[in-house]
Structures are given as structure tokens and as C-alpha cells.
Amino acid sequence: MISAIEQIGRFTLNTSSSVGGTLLFAARVFLRMFERRSYNSASIMVFINQIYFTSVQILPLFLFVAVIFGAMVNGMVFQLIKKIGQTDYLGRLLMGFVVTEISPFVTVLLVALRSSSAINAEIAVMKVNHELSTLEIFNIDLIDYLFVPRVLNGILSMVLLSSLFSLVVLSIGLFVSSVIFGTAADAYIDTLLRSASLLDMIILWFKCAAFGFFITLIPIMLGMNASQELTSIPVAVLNGMVKVFSAIIIIEVLSSIVRFI
């Protein structure tokens, strides 16, 4: 019994220490994002490269998934709406469910699978190879040069890719609605605009930004925790990805609470 209580206590302490450490690190990086000295020719170059790796290289896969997913979701939504005869809810369903819930979620999964794991491994390898200490020897601040560009890229990429995903899904919706209901394009767009709520959009952008922030910050932090041994790299990546997915779930739940309660 005492052993069980000790284990619960240890787990609680470890979890709260881990969450506290993450939030503290998040606060440091977040504040540094607003400092002028974080932006120089070197960090801007890193930012541009990161945007290319995260938002441009992913496009073929991303568009393919968006088209397949859009066709599937729209097909189901329109068939359902047609069956139950509630066409008034079409816009609300597309804007409230597909745009504000599905698009950011699928986007964050794709970006996390591709970029978070890459960032995690990259930082861990740099740590093992003494490249991080090299930067410090040359008085290059790791937060300014490595972390801020990656985190900014995460935020921007998430907002842009999620918007692109929504655009593709809604465009497919336009096609499906004209085939199933024979709806004109302007009527379809009008339905969507009438169903769009500013609050939902603000929550959506904040959610995308939070996703982008944490799915880049956590891999950086866990990559930094690697030791000087090569065997610590897979462990760092594994721990990082588990925490990234925990963060995704927490942000999703928090955004739903804000939106619906």
C-alpha cells in the first residue's frame, strides 16, 4: 500500500516537474520571440530553411491527404444532410466541424509526424556531436539562432497549412454540393460565410498557433535532454514524440472547452 502511494507520489512529482519545466522553457522562448536581437541574418536564414522543410516539402503529401480526406468527409456530410433533410445545417457542419476541428487536427498530425520528429532528432544529434556547445563557444545564443526560428516556423506553418487544408476541403465541398444538391457556387459560399463565427475563427487561429508552438518547442527541449551518447538519440526522439502527442490532445481538449463551454 505504502509502495503504491510512493509510486503515485513519484509519478505526480515527475509529471508536475516535467510540465513545469516545459512551461518555463516555453515562457523563455516565447518572450525571446519579441526581442529585436533574436532576428539577424543567420536566424532569418534558419527560419526560411525551416519554412521550406516544413511547409513546402510537405505539400505533395499534404494536398493528397487533403483531397482524399476532403472527398471522404464531404461525401459523408452531404449524404447525411440529404438523408435527414437538414440542409440548413450544412454550413454550420462544414465550418464548425470540418474547418475548426478536423483541419487543424489532421494538419498537426501530419506536421508533427514529419517535422517534430525531424527537429527532435536534429537537436539530439547536434547535442551528441557537441555542435550545440560549439555554437555557445562562438557566443551564438541557442534560443536566438536555433529555437526561435523553428518555433516561429511551427506557428506560421500550422496556420498556413491548416488554412490550406480547409480551403481544399471546402473547394471539394463546392464540387460535391453542386453534384448532389445542384447548388450554385455563390449560394454555397454564402451558406459558409453565414455559418462562420468570428469567435470560432479566433479560437481556430489560437489553436493552430498553440499547436505549432508546442509541436516544435517540445522536440527541441527533449532533443536538448539527450546525453553525449549516440544511444540517447532514439530515446530523446521517442520521449519527445510521446510528449508532442500528449500536448496535441491537451490543446485539443482545452480549445473544445473554450469553444463549447
Partner 1 sequence: MRFFESEEELQEKLKDFITAHKSQMGLVSLEAPLISNLPVWSNIALIRQYHQNMSWHEAKATVDGLLHRMGMASIAEKRNPALTKEERFCAMLLRAAMVQDAVVVLDKPFGILTNLRDGHFLMHILHKVDDLIAEAHIFDYSWAKERYGVTADAED
Q: Which of 126, 151, 192, 204 binds partner 1 (CB under 8 A)?
A: 126
Of 18-26, 108-116, 126-134, 210-218, the window that binds partner 1 (rule: CB under 8 A) is 126-134
Kindly calculate the radius of gyration of the chain based on its CA atoms and give it in whole angstroms. Answer: 21
231: contact with partner 1 by CB under 8 A = no
Q: Which of 7, 12, 129, 228 binds partner 1 (CB under 8 A)?
A: 129
- Buried-exposed string 118-148: b where 16+ CB fall within 10 A, e elsewhere: ebbbbbbbbbbeeebeeeeeeeeebbbbbbb
Q: Which of 10, 82, 130, 194 binds partner 1 (CB under 8 A)?
A: 130
Alpha-carbon gap, residue 103 to 172, rounded angstroms: 14
145: contact with partner 1 by CB under 8 A = yes
Nearer to partner 1, 111 or 126 (CB): 126
Alpha-carbon gap, residue 261 to 256, rounded angstroms: 8
In order of 56, 66, 97, the CA distances from 170 in angstroms are 21, 10, 12
Nearer to partner 1, 14 or 129 (CB): 129
230: contact with partner 1 by CB under 8 A = no
Nearer to partner 1, 144 or 223 (CB): 144
Closest CB 135 distance from partner 1, rounded Å: 8
Alpha-carbon gap, residue 67 to 135, rounded angstroms: 43
The three cell numbers of residue 261 are 463551454
Nearer to partner 1, 3 or 41 (CB): 41
Write out the binding residues for partner 1, residues 28-87 only, by CB under 8 A: 40-43, 45
* Element holding 88 (H helix, E strand): none
